[in-house]
Chains A and B, each alone.
Chain A
Amino acid sequence: MSRRLDAGGSWIDRSKPLLFRFDDQGYEGFEGDTLASALLANGVEGGFTSPILSRPRGVMTAGPEEPNAFVEISEPWFDTIVAATMVELVDGLVAGSRTGVGRLPDPAEVPSVDATHRHVHVETLVVGGGASGRRAAVAAVKRGDRVLLMDERHRVDAPPEDVTVLPRTTVLGVYDDGYVVAHERSATVSCLWHVRASRVVLATGAHERFVAFAGNDRPGVMLASAAATYVERFGVLPGERVGIFTTNDSGIRSAEALRAAGADIAYTLGVGQDLSAAAEDVDLLLISGGWNPNLTLWRSLGGRLRYDEQLSSFLPDGGGPSWLEVVGSADGRGLAASEAFWLEPAGDYSEHFVDLQRDQTVADIAEALDAGLVSVEHVKRVTYIGTAIDQGRTSGVLTAAIVNQLLGAGPEAQGPTGARPPSVPISYATIAGPDRGDLLDPIRRTRIHSWHEEQDAVFEDVGQWKRPRYFPRGGEDIDAAVARECLAVREAAGVLDASTLGKIDVVGPDAAAFLDRMYTKRMSTLPVGSIRYGFMLGLDGMVADDGVAMRLGEDRFLVTTTTGNAAMVLDRFEEWLQTEWPDLRVYCTSVTEQWTDVAVAGPRAREVLAAVGTDIDLAPEAFPFMTFRDGEMAGIPVRIARVSFTGELSYEVLVDGRRGLELWTAVLTAGTPFGIAPYGTEAMHVLRAEKGFVIVGQDTDGTVTPDDLGMSWMVRKDDSDFIGRRSLRRADSVREDRKQLVGLVPDELLPEGAQLVEVNTGQIPMPMIGYVTSSYTSAALGRPIALAMVERGRSRHGETVYAPLPGGTISAEIVPPLFYDPEGTRRDG
């Protein structure tokens, strides 16, 4: 049965019919319809179900305050749950009724909506495209403002000139300093707007008020102005035999609009007349309990409310930020005065619905009050009134008023509870926009990355970086590849892409003095051409980073940091220079990516570099450990540093970043006859662990001092100050039961993080005395090894500890943290 009128409907285009499906039935509508108006036009009665009591429900409103008609859209885009009154009808729309909550489909099932984000700055943002919003926009344009006007409907009538008008755009929240997030949605795009506005004008209008009477939730009960909207905008007459209950003149006008469209107004009721029998005789019962200004955004920024007796509702009453303004009917202007009427007195309130989305009635409110609650906030938490998708648009003021009434207080005693952003449901896909999958967080790659990929390297994430973890050959698994790479480094030569390490240029007359303050070792005594390893501590004395400093000149150093701390170290340098020592003459500059770092390690490393071709004298007497040389290699300017993280003869070749791949390739080519192999982070970890070299952030966690690591030798002995020095003397820093770095020789490979106990009683709890920080299978030793932090660890060498694990207990002997080449003879090749 069609309820479409033969004529009328200012928003629909009758020359553009559209086909859609709802709950597996096909229907027709027009461009300009909402899904709700099209369903009503097709005579769909009810069609929805309440979430808890499974009562039949129908479309009750024409806007976002809709509490019943929720749908899932599956074509041409997917929306898990949305009010049918807010869905713009498009050709081929497929929708189904939803009750309560949406569902998450299999991503393969549904078309994805491309979601994007847009930032925009304006002087004035107007929320709401009705008459007062448009007026505010025009006034702002006259002032010379850039003006943006948003409206949640798919159409704004008479859009003002020189104003950017965004229909289909719902403001999700208004935040500090005029930051507004809004969702613009169409059939093909979902766009999250981030607006920074100097002024925000809330022209958010008002919602017509619902009232409580027995059976007020059944299909065919509709807000009066909504019915008039269906007639005027969509050319739909939602009912032919119509009754109306109204507390105010606007209800009369709405009924008149229906009568003019051909409806039979069976009766008009006012306050004091019997409502409950009313619904029997008509197919549409219109309700107008007055008007509630829509002020959730106002309140979210601290705006206060006051009760207005004329309107029987709440109006803005100061307290908001100076840049936020409320205009139009949101400020009470032009709203019909209304008697205060909230509920029809009855003996049984169990069908006097207040929050339709939560199936909560006046009886539920009374029960909460009987239990002793007096605050609307508590009533909300107990009954869930106001917490559903509509966030109390039709129930908020009504609930507060009923609480007040049942407690014998005046209607101004308590106001409605608030709402939280987002003001309407929004999908995570929209929140994410482009920032998901590979774009969730930047993936950082070195200049040699393409080569690693061609070699089918397996990568691991190191912070944001992708670093090759191992280079499997011929079907090797990780263990086989790592064992082979380690042996290559120990017996021939390996090459590692170390480009991710941080590098900082430090220059100035006070550069050396500055580094002295930042590191545990003095850099001022470092000769030009030499390299020194140091710890950077926090003020609390805990190891924060390690690195080496190369002295390039009297006044110039190149400082390296760990990969993960590159930014932190530079930031810390700047913090101290800018906030504490502005008189120090030193400048720091990040050069992390200015240089590619090709590390060549192994007993044949020298031969490999000689084969590449260099003018640098590589002989050990000419090029000692912990020094660096500048020169050329393969015709490319290089700086070569003799540092070793593997314990083998090792050179780090620094080359201009743009020539890094070229040098890398030259090294691999020249090194082939010597058995060179690329190695990844896993082999690097094993090799350094065999030598007991710590990795800051793996073997340390911000609670570890140099002495805990057995590395007091890293701390200068003179009394010159450096960051963290005083804290090394704190009672807690010298506690004799502190955890100390030890090596472990376990029966089996231990998981990193395994907790260690002294005595394996088998009873939980057992006191934990330590934990495993690093654990590997050592190819050189042919057995598993580990590093661990253990209480009084240095006095426990030779003892056995136990790691209780879900699959059984592993025992391990505590040993010094140094498994391979204890004399360090391999360092010079």
Chain B
Amino acid sequence: MTDERLVATDLAQVSLRADPRDLPFEQPDPNAMTTWNGRDVLWLGPDEWLVVGEAGSEVSIERELQDALAGHHRSVVDVSSNRVVFDLTDGLDLLATGCGLDLDASRWRPGVCAQTLFGGAQVILHQLDERTTRVFVRPSFAGYFMERLRTSASVTS
């Protein structure tokens, strides 16, 4: 698997927890996403979302969220260093070597996301477009994630 297929991407990530009725945007369906002010908002739970923006924008994301939710019980936490992000091209078959989700392209459409396991590592998967899967993984597991992906790739190619 060439390095072009798996690209580490620097992004701003902010964890948001709040009552969904207080959100400044329509909450996404479970395991789907929405967008807000140019950022992706991934559903992680009924009261938990991951707001993803361009690298370095975590401070403004935090500020905008704090402002929008002022007066409401909320949690806005910068987690930009808590996970590293990889964009994987044409990688669903590879992910299927270690993930029990239905990753068939007919079911796993752009816009869906899910928290799940790849091998022994917790990951968040987000299908960006027809060919690109964005993978969020804890930095400490990144080495394992890449190694397991590469090992599977070298066998199946």
Q: A: which residues have CB within 8 A of B?
A: 114-121, 146, 189, 194, 196, 433-435, 438-439, 441-447, 465, 500, 505, 507-509, 585, 587-595, 656-658
Contacts and interface: CB of A to CB of B under 8 A. Distances in A.
Contacts, number: 114
A116 B97 contact: yes
A589 B74 CA distance: 11
Contacts of B17: 587, 589
B87 to A, nearest CB: 18
Nearest to B19: A585
Contact of B144 (A189, A439, A505): A439
Interface string B126-157: 00000000000011110110011001101110
Contacts of B74: 507, 587
Interface stretch (B24-32, B35-43, B75-83): B75-83
A593 B80 CA distance: 10
A442 B144 contact: yes
B21 interface: no
B83 A442 contact: no
A443 B143 contact: yes
A608 B58 CA distance: 31
20 contacts: A115-B155, A116-B155, A118-B96, A119-B101, A146-B106, A434-B97, A434-B151, A434-B152, A435-B119, A438-B147, A441-B120, A442-B144, A443-B143, A505-B77, A507-B74, A588-B75, A590-B82, A593-B139, A594-B77, A658-B80
B65 interface: no
B104 A591 contact: no
A439 B119 contact: yes
Contact of B151 (A439, A441, A587): A439
B102 interface: yes
A502 to B, nearest CB: 12
B15 interface: yes
Given A434-B97, A434-B151, A589-B15, A447 B139 contact: yes
A442 B106 CA distance: 31
B143 A592 contact: no
A656 B78 CA distance: 10
Contacts of B83: 593
B147 to A, nearest CB: 6
B77 A443 contact: no
A666 B147 CA distance: 30
Nearest to A114: B155
A509 B72 CA distance: 10
B148 A444 contact: no
A121 B104 CA distance: 8
B91 interface: no
Contacts of B104: 120-121, 146
A469 to B, nearest CB: 18
Contacts of A435: 119-120, 148
Given A121-B104, A656-B80, A658-B81, 15 more contacts: A435-B148, A438-B147, A439-B147, A442-B120, A442-B141, A442-B144, A446-B140, A507-B75, A587-B18, A587-B73, A587-B74, A589-B17, A591-B77, A592-B82, A594-B78
B154 to A, nearest CB: 7
B75 to A, nearest CB: 4
B112 to A, nearest CB: 14
B81 A657 contact: yes
A222 B107 CA distance: 49
Contacts of A196: 100, 102
A439 B150 CA distance: 11
A505 B155 contact: no
Contacts of A114: 154-155
B121 interface: yes
Contact of B100 (A115, A194, A592): A194
A434 B140 contact: no
B81 A442 contact: no
Nearest to B120: A442
B77 A589 contact: yes
Contact of B96 (A120, A443, A444): A120
